[in-house]
Amino acid sequence: MRLLACLLASLAHSAPEPWLLKADADGYSYDVEGWGRITVEGVCAVSPASVQCWRPAGQRDAALTHQVDAQLREPGAGSLRLEYRRPNLLLVSSQPNSTAEIARPLLPGESGRVDQQFFSQGLRSDGFQVRLLDWIPNPENKTATDLVMSVPIFTEAQRCRVRRGEHLTLGPCTLELGRLKHRPPSDARSGRSAAPPPEWELEYKLSGLPAGATIRLHPKLLDLAGKPLGEPGTARRLKIPDPRGPFRYVVTDAPIGTSSLGSWSIGCDPKEIGFVEFHPTYMRRVHFRGIALHPSADVRPPPTEAQ
């Protein structure tokens, strides 16, 4: 029984974390379907006078050193925040050029869930790829580190009518619309706010979100013809000007981190809405292991007892 218990404990300890995706076979890149490849290009040691870079496995890289040096010298690159008597290391990564989402590096905690964010030094775009430079937190006394990239996973847009009980499958999740509740006008509406409080609230239930993931649904209101409300040529004319202007068609959206109940605020009359369309993006975490914090020639073996 003791042997069986030890075996089960060993298997549990070695099992991959279900909330983390593994990097590709090379260990330092990941292909996001429908978006592109995210790559850990290397690590750079920075001093006030120079920069030296190496690949993730530790091989020195003169070309990467030249490219990062040029990026740090560019106007607008910002001042370097170097720490005295500590290693100042930059993580160099690249990803597709996108205005929708950006992947960000994190340090996994002991449980895999506790994260420490990297401080960004800047990015550079060539029109197709973006190269990011991020400071690696607390790299002292380590020869290598693991990191997690929070990466966007895109799914197809879907739409439904705004009525209770409507169901949609959005990537790994199921969305069910609930009640549409009216909110009485408040005294705040008489103020000078550019976006007064909305009058309606649409409830929803989200289920099936993978552990450690977050999703953003990006809801968009459409008219009966399927055209976006609030854009030129789609909003119906009103006899009395509406002080809310285009704000009445904006649905406030925020990332959702757990399967849960929630609601959206809507500022227009529901009779104007033909459909609500969702453009979901959910964030998963990809685990990259063994990023070298020193070039190979600088890594010394630990001393033996005889030493």
* Tokens 């063994």, residue located: 290
Kindly report, residue by residue over 49-106, the tens digit of the pLDDT.
899 999 999 999 999 999 999 999 888 777 888 888 888 999 999 998 876 667 888 8
CA angle 177/182/188 to nearest 5° reads: 125
160 CB contacts (<8 Å, ≥6 apart)? 166, 167, 168, 177, 275, 276
**For residue 85, which amino acid is it?**
R
What pLDDT does residue 188 have?
45
pLDDT of the chain along its 307 residues, tens only?
444 344 334 433 333 444 567 787 778 999 887 788 899 999 999 998 899 999 999 999 999 999 999 999 888 777 888 888 888 999 999 998 876 667 888 876 644 454 567 888 888 887 788 898 999 887 767 899 888 888 888 888 899 999 999 999 887 889 999 998 887 665 444 444 444 556 788 899 999 887 767 888 888 889 888 888 875 543 444 433 444 555 567 777 777 877 788 888 888 888 889 999 998 888 888 888 899 999 986 554 444 343 3
Separation of alpha carbons 256 and 217, rounded Å: 8
H helices of the chain, in order, are: 2-14, 62-73
Other Cβ atoms closer than 10 A to 188: 9
